[in-house]
Structure 1
Amino acid sequence: MASQEATHVLYHFEYSICSIMVRYAFALRGPAVDEDHEIILEEQPVDIVRSLEQMSEHFLCDVNANGEVPVLVPLKTGEPLPDSVAITKYLAKSYPSMIPEPHKEKISQLLHDLHRISFFGFTFAGKPQTVGRSKGHLHEILDGDISDRYRAAIEYKLQRLDSEKASALTPEATKKNEEYTKELVAKLESLLQTSRTSWLFDLERPSALDAHLVVFIARMLDIGRGDVIPAALRAFAEKAMSGSEWQQVMQDRSTCAF
């Protein structure tokens, strides 16, 4: 039986693209370095759409001040890790086929490149009310009798909603996001076409980059932006989504809550 130190709590939302990326990459993780490196994920759902649980005092003050998922918390340390790429790299230390050593530098860079895309900008294009609802909810909380730490956390979250979310929905940001995405997917398509296997870099099993890329493509298809995805990448993702690991994570759900 694995020790308690192997247990990690993963705060996630079933329709959060970055949460799905982490969960799917873990489902595809391959063998651990050894028994001592095995990780148990204890999933903790956080409803970030209907209940806005990420805006609670506990979440903002104790889990992730950014008010976002996913967040990984190893029980051994209790220190939250609130970034999907950082979480993926952390997991890869125990499961090396997630980021295999011969391609570590390139895969790591492309993971960062992929996450430079504003997933929020694509998903909520033309829906500024999404940010407005969150801000309204936070202002309602500010009007109540709350602790000083919670008030400071909400004020910080409000700043992030303007700087990170609302700004991603402007016409200028939308144009830049689409231009950057088209350049990156063309590069990834080229890498895929030179691979002699079903995965990038001639790998026999998918890396974390493959996993994150499949989820991104699925999201683009779900929101009706398949025009951004080249045919070869679409076929690559559709084949991956026919696998048992995808079904294990998605359970026939879309990647979107709407």
Structure 2
Amino acid sequence: MSKASRLWRKIRHSGPDLCLYVYPFSIQSIVVQFTIGLAVRGRLRPPRDLAHLSYRLVNLEKNENLQEWYLLQVNPLGRVPTLTIKSSPEPMTDRLSIIYWVCEQCPALLPHVHRAEIRRLITQLHEIFEWFNSSNPAVEDLLTNHDITPAHRRALEYKQECQRKQREMVALNMSDGYSMTNETRVFLREIVQQRNEHSHGSAWIFGDSGPTVLDAHVVAYIARLIDIGLEDLVPPELRVYAETIMTMPEWHEVMKGRPTVWDPLLGDIDELEI
């Protein structure tokens, strides 16, 4: 048994029943954490499993997602977030699968009357998120290391191939006129329409019934756009909507007052509270 496998067995045996591997400046991690936060912080009836979920930091700045144990035993794509459930033999590595698992634990996040629209819109947004998944040159650097194990090398080669396919997909989309900017504008216009139709003055997209998983996605994405200097893409009414929700304790519980992008002035990432 490899060192990575032994480490993973130790983690799974001694670790919490539910563990979410996250990086606090990953937009996908923020979306999942905020979805959970809306479920367990009092806005909705908190499900027992989610209330006992633990978090583990994966420091992307140090390429911890490319370590042997993570690629072999947690997520072969080297991405976050990833959810491990002690009763399940395999980690949950697909971001949308994690989102929908959370919604299964707290059905109010995905109300039946709006389910089709919410699913369509968050799928649309996750396609935009793929633009944030840039290739990591550290993969090629690690492959030049002759001291890595054969299993780690195979895992890195798989990650390398996935990155190649991602670059090709982005290039193909760009050749078809697809861009993150244009798709963001289209997406946010739809959110404005949904709010105009359903919110009736409420803080939430679908009104007084409360927050949904779509709110978690939209607020997190608007916060990211503001943080990277693309606030001009955000319609004024949506900026007010997002900033209102960002004053709530659920958002603070996830972000701890931090922006959605890392800055060295924030200090050592390994010391951050998650």
TM-score > 0.5 by shorter chain: yes
The answer to whether residue 191 in structure 2 is matched with residue 188 in structure 1 is yes
Structure 1 pair 5–39 and aligned structure 2 pair: CA distance change class (3 A): farther
Q: How does 1:34-49 map to 2 (within 5 A)?
A: 39-49=51-61
Q: Counterpart in 2 of 1:74?
A: 85
- Once the two structures are TM-superposed, the CA of residue 177 in structure 1 deviates from its matched residue by 2.2
Q: Which amino acid aligns with 1:251?
A: K
- Once the two structures are TM-superposed, the CA of residue 70 in structure 1 deviates from its matched residue by 0.2
Conserved? CA contact 1:182–1:228, under 8 Å? yes
Q: For structure 2, list consecutive stretches of 5 or more residues without a partner in the other structure.
A: 1-13, 264-274
Which moves more between the two structures, 151-160 or 54-63?
A: 151-160
Identity of aligned residues (%): 28
Instruction: Name the SS of the counterpart of 2:206 in structure 1.
Output: helix
TM-score by length of 2: 0.80
Q: Deviations over 1:82-119 (max 9, x none)?
A: 12221111011111111122222221221111111135
Q: How does 1:102-251 map to 2 (within 5 A)?
A: 102-118=113-129, 120-121=131-132, 131=135, 134-165=136-167, 168=170, 172=174, 176-194=179-197, 195-196=199-200, 197-251=202-256
Q: Which amino acid aligns with 1:8?
A: L
Q: Which amino acid aligns with 1:184?
A: F
Instruction: Name the SS of the counterpart of 2:60 in structure 1.
Output: coil
Q: Deviations over 1:13-44 (max 9, x none)?
A: 011110010001100012146x5x55521101
CA RMSD of aligned residues (A): 2.5
Structure 1 pair 216–166 and aligned structure 2 pair: CA distance change class (3 A): farther
Q: Distance in 2 between matches of 1:116 and 1:243?
A: 28
Q: Counterpart in 2 of 1:55?
A: 66
Structure 1 pair 88–137 and aligned structure 2 pair: CA distance change class (3 A): closer
Instruction: Name the SS of the counterpart of 2:113 in structure 1.
Output: helix
Q: Which amino acid aligns with 2:45?
A: P
Q: Distance in 1 between matches of 2:173 and 2:235?
A: 24
Conserved? CA contact 1:39–1:94, under 8 Å? no
Q: Distance in 1 between matches of 2:261 and 2:167?
A: 17
Instruction: Name the SS of the counterpart of 2:54 in structure 1.
Output: strand
Instruction: Name the SS of the counterpart of 2:219 in structure 1.
Output: helix
Q: Deviations over 1:230-253 (max 9, x none)?
A: 111111100000001111111110
- Once the two structures are TM-superposed, the CA of residue 149 in structure 1 deviates from its matched residue by 2.0
Q: Distance in 2 between matches of 1:54 and 1:38?
A: 24
Which moves more between the two structures, 187-196 or 158-167?
A: 158-167
Structure 1 pair 159–19 and aligned structure 2 pair: CA distance change class (3 A): same
- Once the two structures are TM-superposed, the CA of residue 182 in structure 1 deviates from its matched residue by 1.1
Q: Counterpart in 1 of 2:107?
A: 96
Q: Which amino acid aligns with 1:7?
A: D
> What number of residue pairs does the alignment pair up?
243
Q: Distance in 1 between matches of 2:153 and 2:139?
A: 13
Q: Which amino acid aligns with 1:27?
A: G
Q: Deviations over 1:25-66 (max 9, x none)?
A: 100012146x5x5552110100012x1100001111111111
Instruction: Name the SS of the counterpart of 2:53 in structure 1.
Output: strand
Conserved? CA contact 1:6–1:38, under 8 Å? no
Q: Distance in 1 between matches of 2:92 and 2:236?
A: 35
Q: Distance in 2 between matches of 1:161 and 1:85?
A: 19
Which moves more between the two structures, 178-187 or 208-217?
A: 178-187
TM-score by length of 1: 0.85
